[in-house]
């Protein structure tokens, strides 16, 4: 499974499968009537039994409902905050979408604060909407992130380090304690005990983009050795 597709190309393989059973079309694929077209340039991927998507290089974030992103508060506009999530448009975040927030008890959010939030509305025609609570009204892992360091990376890198088989985070935590929030919009926030360690974690993450899994372990060991000698 390593067919390279360009936008507009029909994917006959999926069309064949779809004649008999249900098919899940992931990012990069769209359908018109019974034909399936690629809308990104990249490699066709398949997950058993019948899920297809295109793996392509991308830095621009396109909001998707349910994904967690990192955003910066840019504006307070009455009942809502405007949050920059790196998408085509700023997202809005109601001040009631925080744990324990009521009309009288507003959350303490300042301009320039960094938030880890979940997208609940992401449509091409509407402005994206964020929340900082789950469906039970608990904040869980969402909310404001204090201190630490944020940097941007490609969306591919985010997918790579969040993959179940990626050893990066496990290898890094063997070297030093740290905390991380990875947004699907290609922003990563990290926090470690010292500035030196924070920079080391950041560099390790950025360095993994084009490194194989085995080399990642070596890379993390190296970083540990350099830091603590």
The rounded distance, in Å, linking the Cα atoms of 49 and 215 is 31
Interface with another protein includes 217 (CB under 8 A)? Answer: no
Interface with another protein includes 141 (CB under 8 A)? Answer: yes
Site string for another protein, 92-131 (x = CB under 8 A): ------------------------x---------------
According to CB under 8 A, which one of 7, 10, 16, 24 is a site residue for another protein?
A: 24
Nearer to another protein, 81 or 189 (CB): 189
Interface with another protein includes 25 (CB under 8 A)? Answer: yes
In this structure, what is the dihedral angle of CA atoms 173, 174, 177, 178, given to the nearest 10 degrees?
A: -20
Q: What is the DSSP string of 139-203?
A: -TT-EEE-SSEEEE--HHHHHHHHSTT--HHHHHHHH--EEEEEETTTEEEEEESSHHHHHHHHH
According to CB under 8 A, which one of 179, 206, 211, 213 is a site residue for another protein?
A: 179
Binding residues among 55-84 for another protein as defined by CB under 8 A: 64-68
Neighbours of 28 (CB within 10 A): 23
The rounded distance, in Å, linking the Cα atoms of 216 and 115 is 29
Residue 110 pairs in a beta bridge with none
Interaction site with another protein (CB under 8 A): 18-19, 21-27, 30-31, 36, 45, 47, 51, 53, 64-68, 116, 140-142, 155, 158-159, 162-164, 169, 172-173, 176-184, 191-193
């Amino acid at each position: 499974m390593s067919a390279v597709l360009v936008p507009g190309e029909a994917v006959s393989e999926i069309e064949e499968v779809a004649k008999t059973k249900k098919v899940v079309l992931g990012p990069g694929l769209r359908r018109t009537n019974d034909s399936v077209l690629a809308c990104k340039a990249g490699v066709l991927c398949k997950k058993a039994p019948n899920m297809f998507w295109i793996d392509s290089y991308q830095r621009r974030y396109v909001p998707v409902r349910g994904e967690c992103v990192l955003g910066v508060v840019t504006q307070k506009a009455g009942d809502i905050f405007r949050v920059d999530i790196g998408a085509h448009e700023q997202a809005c975040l109601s001040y009631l979408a925080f744990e324990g927030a009521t009309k009288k008890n507003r959350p303490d959010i300042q301009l320039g604060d960094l938030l880890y939030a979940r997208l609940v509305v992401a449509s091409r025609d509407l402005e994206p909407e964020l929340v900082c609570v789950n469906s039970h009204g608990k904040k869980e892992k969402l909310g404001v992130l204090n201190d630490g360091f944020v940097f941007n990376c490609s969306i591919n890198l985010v997918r790579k380090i969040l993959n179940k088989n990626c050893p990066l985070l496990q290898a890094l935590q063997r070297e030093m304690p740290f905390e991380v929030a990875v947004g699907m919009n290609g922003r990563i926030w990290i926090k470690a005990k010292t500035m030196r360690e924070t920079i080391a974690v950041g560099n390790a993450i950025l360095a993994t983009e084009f490194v194989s899994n085995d080399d990642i372990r070596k890379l993390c060991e190296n970083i540990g050795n350099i830091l603590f000698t």
